[in-house]
Amino acid sequence: MNAESKTVLITGGDGYLGSSLAASYLESTDASLILWLRAGGAEEFENKKSALQRRFAGHASRLSYAAGDLLDDEPFRALDPRGIGGIIHAAAVTRFNVDETTARAVNLEGACKLFRFATGCPSLEAFGLLSTVYASGLAPGAIAEAPLDDGHGFSNFYEWSKWASEAALLKHFGDLPWRIFRVATIIADDERGTVRQQNAFHNTLKLLYYGLLSVMPGLPETPLYLLSGEFVSRAIFALMRRPSNRVIYHVCHKREEALPLRDLVDIAFEVFSQSEDFRLRRILKPLYADLGSFELLADGVEKFSGAVVSQAVASVAPFARQLFIDKDLKNTNLTAALGRYPDPELRRLAAETCRRLVESRWKPHGHDAR
Ligand SMILES: NC(=O)c1ccc[n+]([C@@H]2O[C@H](COP(=O)([O-])OP(=O)(O)OC[C@H]3O[C@@H](n4cnc5c(N)ncnc54)[C@H](OP(=O)(O)O)[C@@H]3O)[C@@H](O)[C@H]2O)c1
């Protein structure tokens, strides 16, 4: 898309990927941006806006802000559709333990409100829907960059809602200049292992470090598709600016480049062992458990453990079923569009991420405007 001359609207403009993509546009184009933020009232909007203004100081003349909530009836009513050349939908509830009602209302129905708004943007050249490789749910084997069905079910309502938003886009708004980005798991901002946003991945490592996860759900050989946020933002930024529409991209590496679960656990223990604090606790690597045994343990933890542990386990448990599924994610469209991407170096990324997590004891890095 020739975004240089038109305005790009980014929903979830203060979220992890929304704000990273805003930074890419500000640094590498002359485009104006509208950052659309979730805010319950004027004070929350002002606070979010101020944080972004600090982060993007120097670009004030190209930035404007709008507030809303995907739960509102018409969340984009205040926006002028004329002049919008690109839209990136990065707003979503991203917790794996989100309940069905919220997932449906925000991630499916909220996305449809934006699709509808987009149909009224006369100059729209590109609409990017941020999705996840787990929109493929529990499907094993080869997963192409093509529409998905829901035949294998899902691990959680987050996955289901991301699948459902893709399906709604393709079925009811197929004429939009859409592109779908199915992103794999971001574990760090960059190859130095800086972590601004934590998720189930980091919570699992935390449980392992403190010896609170003696059994690991999953099969040791399950491939993990791990990425840095930098890789993802660069890829989506480049793909948004290509002329071709109606393409699905898997923003991830190939299966042979992915890291087996066993290797991640080995790398984590190797890094953890460099800390005396960890060595003194003589913590053993977890045993691999079947899903039933893990669910029993998670259930016990919820009933009998303190808030910190049960919250961490609650964020891991809704994802556990994926650790038994061997997905062979294809990234043909991604590689054809980007050419050769940098070598994944996933072992180093995983090791550096573990090292930074231990150093910070899981305190997120510089959590200002996310
Ligand atoms: N990061 C990853 O590893 C990853 C991997 C695969 C796919 N993705 C996809 O990428 C997209 C962006 O993810 P992210 O990591 O940037 O997530 P994030 O940091 O959690 O950002 C999500 C954004 O959505 C906003 N939001 C939540 N509920 C909303 C509502 N009701 N109305 C309006 N806005 C709402 C959040 O605002 P508040 O914070 O104020 O609620 C936040 O700005 C999502 O679609 C996600 O599924 C991310």
Surface-to-core class of residue 83, CB atoms within 10 Å of its CB (0-12 exposed, 13-18 middle, 19+ buried): middle
Angle formed at CA 173 by CA 172 and CA 175, multiple of 5 degrees: 130
Determine the pLDDT at residue 344: 67
Q: Contact, 119 vs 238, CB < 8 A? A: no
Pick the closest to residue 230 from 200, 202, 189 (CA basis): 189
Cβ(133) to ligand 1 under 6 A? no
Look at 182 and 1; give whichever has higher pLDDT: 182
Is the pLDDT at 303 greater than 80? The verdict is no
DSSP assignments along 272-341, one per residue: HTTSHHHHHTTPPPPEEE-HHHHHHHHHHHHHHS-HHHHHHHHHHGGGGGGGG--EEE--HHHHHHH-SP
CA distance 321 to 292: 10
Length of the chain, in residues:
370
Q: What is the pLDDT of residues 104-152, one digit of tens each?
A: 999 999 999 999 999 999 999 999 999 999 999 999 999 999 999 999 9
Is the pLDDT at 369 greater than 90? The verdict is no
Residue whose pair of structure tokens reads 């909007």 in the numeric block? 45
Sorted by sequence, the CB contacts under 8 Å of residue 11 that are 6+ apart come out as 18, 36, 70, 87, 88, 89, 90, 91, 114
Determine the pLDDT at residue 311: 72
Report the b/e string of 246-262 with b at 16+ CB within 10 A.
ebbbbbbbbbebbbebb
State whether the Cα torsion 180-130-228-294 is positive or negative: negative
CA distance 195 to 90: 19
Angle formed at CA 230 by CA 228 and CA 235, multiple of 5 degrees: 105
Q: Contact, 265 vs 216, CB < 8 A? A: yes
Q: What is the pLDDT of residues 31-84, one digit of tens each?
A: 999 999 999 999 999 999 999 999 999 999 999 999 999 999 999 999 999 999
Q: What is the pLDDT of residues 216-253, one digit of tens each?
A: 999 999 999 999 999 999 999 999 999 999 999 999 99
CA distance 126 to 178: 6
Is the pLDDT at 368 greater than 60? The verdict is no
Query: Which residue owns the Cα nearest ligand 1 atom 37?
Result: 38
Cβ(345) to ligand 1 under 6 A? no
Cβ(71) to ligand 1 under 6 A? yes
With cut-offs at 50, 70 and 90, classify the pLDDT of residue 257.
Answer: very high
Cβ(186) to ligand 1 under 6 A? yes
How much is the pTM? 0.95
Is the pLDDT at 6 greater than 90? The verdict is no
For residue 319, what are its two tokens? 């994802």
Pick the closest to residue 36 from 95, 101, 81, 96 (CA basis): 81
Pick the closest to residue 80 from 45, 50, 117 (CA basis): 117
Look at 310 and 121; give whichever has higher pLDDT: 121
Helix runs in the chain, H state only: 16-28, 42-55, 100-102, 110-119, 157-172, 200-209, 229-240, 261-272, 276-280, 291-304, 307-316, 332-338, 346-360
Query: What is the mean pLDDT of the segment spanning 12-32?
Result: 97
Determine the pLDDT at residue 113: 98
Look at 16 and 3; give whichever has higher pLDDT: 16
Which atom in ligand 1 lies closest to the alpha carbon of residue 17?
16
Determine the pLDDT at residue 9: 98
Which atom in ligand 1 lies closest to the alpha carbon of residue 71?
31
Query: Which residue owns the Cα nearest ligand 1 atom 38?
Result: 38
Question: Measured in angstroms, how far is the CA atom of residue 14 from the centroid of ligand 1?
Answer: 9
Cβ(329) to ligand 1 under 6 A? no
Q: Which domains does the chain have, with CATH numbers?
A: 3-183 (3.40.50.720), 189-223+259-326+345-360 (no CATH)
CA distance 302 to 26: 44
Q: What is the pLDDT of residues 151-200, one digit of tens each?
A: 999 999 999 999 999 999 999 999 999 999 999 999 999 999 999 999 98
